[in-house]
Structure 1
Amino acid sequence: MARPSIVPIALTLDDRTGYTLWAPPWEEDGEEWQAFLGGTEGDTSVVHLFPSPAALAAFCRTRTDHDLADHPVWPVVAGLDAADVTPDDDHRYDLDGVYDVMAENPDRWAVEELAATFEIVGRLAEVCDTAPDEDDEDDDDEDEDEDDTAFESVAELMAKPEVAMLGLGIDAFVGRAGEDAWIRLGGAVDELWEDVVEELDEHLDWTGAGTTELDAYPSASESAAVEPAGDDEDSDEDDDIEVVEGDTAAATPTSAISSGSRVAVDPAAVAAAAGFWEGVGILPVEVVVPEGAGLTLRCYVEDDSRFLGADREVYLFGTPAELRAFVRGDEDHDLTEVASWPEVADTDTLPLPVDQDRYDLVEVAEVLAEVADGAAGLVDHSVLVQPLEGVRDLAEYARLERVDALLAPGTPLGQAAARAEATPGAALRAEDAAVLTGPWDELVREISTALVFRD
């Protein structure tokens, strides 16, 4: 089981977005626990929602009358500011958008979004369920009472085999059998989703534990533009974090790798463009190195990575518009022979990278430095997983033998990479980070030699 942690999340329902905290399951004294930032109102268990990360952070600093007050890392959370409790894109759940997702043909983003949304709904139901206690019932009725739940529609939806298939990824919905499964899932959503959200909404506190009013909550479109209030008003980045159990007396929050890219993109526009890029099999990619951040394109030819570039050099562009302008030109490069390239060259769809295709190598260096400097216990090996995927693809295309050597089994980076894949939740210790800092800097320098920033 993962170490105790607290994760900022956002929920969108009835065209309003609320922010709260979720403590994924952890074990304490031999028992499994799970909680949200909430409490009990009368006989009803509720989750407190707030109209902004700033309002959430203010509540955390001043209140302890809630279900997370006894969590192992609450002392750390109580000292965080708005930027630290701003959820990353992977922890924003649009319950209003489920019908729209189901209306499209399945792709990996649709499947992942539905899987995440249904999981958080199930978690909320588990925590907030106030069904009658079996001990209060007659023994003859015990078996029947075991199935009692305040979330009948949630339970019915989660029991559908097609919901379980979401956890298998897009491969589960490929081919005739997969198409049929997607159609059955859509039928289950049409039948049950309104009842699911109605059951859930009864347990959502849209007053922020009495600190705000309903009209203070942003609409779905407004919440996409919310900027967290932090100490540095000139900062362009959010330090999204996942707080994990550590030395809470001395711990200092540090950023984790999620969506800390340097090229500004609109999440709604990314979602709208994703279908085209997935369809042509050539995906926009962002790479961040000390020299700057840039966008490029990548595909796979017989399982080998191929980038927009030539002579083992990857071309990077500062904005989606600049990349699109190059694509429409007639300069020769290594993607022109890809079968779907004519569609790419003719499209008006902006090349906007999804979170899974953003590789911030600078932020990894910053995290390693912070952990080595004493911020241990707040970061785990998962921070390496996504950046290393990008590194390996770039090194393969550019034939960077030194990168391969740095990542070889038995080297510090190779061992860390293996651990990140096997147990991503394992804590990154100060001594681990200290050993990795030098090799990571060398790796980034090697990658940078293959990147060409184009005007």
Structure 2
Amino acid sequence: MARPSIVPIALTVDDRVGYTLWAPPWEEDGEEWQAFLGASEDDAATVHLFPTPAALAAFCRTRTDHDLADHPVWPVVVGLGAADLTPDEDHRYDLDGVYDVAAENPDRWAVEELAATIDIVTRLAECLDVEEDTDEDEIDGLSDEDDDRDVDADVELDRRPAGDVERGGEFGALTELVARPEVGSLGLGVDAFVGRSGEDAWAGVGAALDDLWEDVLEELGEHLDWTGGGTVTLEDYPSVAEAEEDLEEEPSPAEETGAGAAQAPPAPPSPAPGVSAIARPGRISATPDEVAAAAKFWESVGILPVEIVLPEGAGVTLRCYVDDRARFLGREGQIYLFATPADLARFCAGDEEHDLTEIASWPEVAETSTPPLPAEQDRYDLTELADVLTEVADGAAGLVEHHALVQPVEGVRDVAEYAGLTRVEQLLTPPAALGQAVARGERNPDATLRAEDAATLRPAWDEVVTEVSGALVFRD
């Protein structure tokens, strides 16, 4: 059994593409489960679909009233952006296109595409069939005996050999479809459709789809929530042609890198020897118990570890307040960042002069063996806010509150104060658009961000991040 995971998928139905999440089989308390992003009740179950990965990501960031909220890796999904929740080609299922695929020659690609499409529909049915005695009447898919089968988080998995399909439940047409021998042969691969008998079997697949597929889609359609849990409407969905055009226009990672390099602002002045520009991606990780244990020391000395995450990388440093003004581990307006808490601790144990040396409790910091682990309130992910603003501008309005601005803005204000970044202060203060949004967030943090506001705020925030980046240097 593979480790628990959650996979973004796309379903094309009725000339619309809907994005959602699927949790492949995982084991918990000795039982095997599967689930989709949706809601299950005693008499109904639905899968939430969204018009864009951005809308999906915004829902995941703000909602827990769904069947994946208790999944072991859900806390990871909450922090993902639209790019991370965009399905790869292997997880895009065109339910409208099965007739066209069946009309092709039975090569490996056609057979695998039909098998994968019918398989995902059977997995959906297993999770969505909530009629009485569901776990006696589940539908098995097209995989062989060793394939891991799945169920919704509210239904115990009933493992069956391939082809052992029970009648009944809400998905009678699908049950009949997968019981057809020719359809069952899809799980055997392209070899099942070679020669005269194979040609007959392929024709049988097409005939079965002609007879039953529309009924299958009707059964499934009763359980597809095209409102994204009440966050979108049908008008928000582009047609399939429009969605494909948008997908083609998205730059590849290599193109994004090139474009980013071409548009990047001038690099800050070269730092002193032993210092390199911030360019190390990653985040500091520690268990809550480890952070809590370390916090006792750091709070006692009045100097706290801080993590800052930017597009170019992430690092940890130290910060305290003197006369209510932020002071960082650094010198002459430059803040020193370290790739790991261990690197930071080694620097602190050295004898280099910096702006925290004169703090009365610094000798305790220099001598401690307590790792500098940032608490959650002292971790400032400036990239996450950029992703949020992009998602809202792309159509996820109404899902993100102004409160999302509070913590990252708090972090950059401290950096700006220490480094003398007057431009940042200007951008974060009314009448600047970003400053107005911050002020609204302070007055009413539960108010949601509007798409038109986010489109204006994103470039302003990008400028803030660029200014802040110029004050941060990574120490070796």
TM-score between the two structures when normalised by the length of structure 2: 0.47
TM-score between the two structures when normalised by the length of structure 1: 0.49
Larger Rg: 2
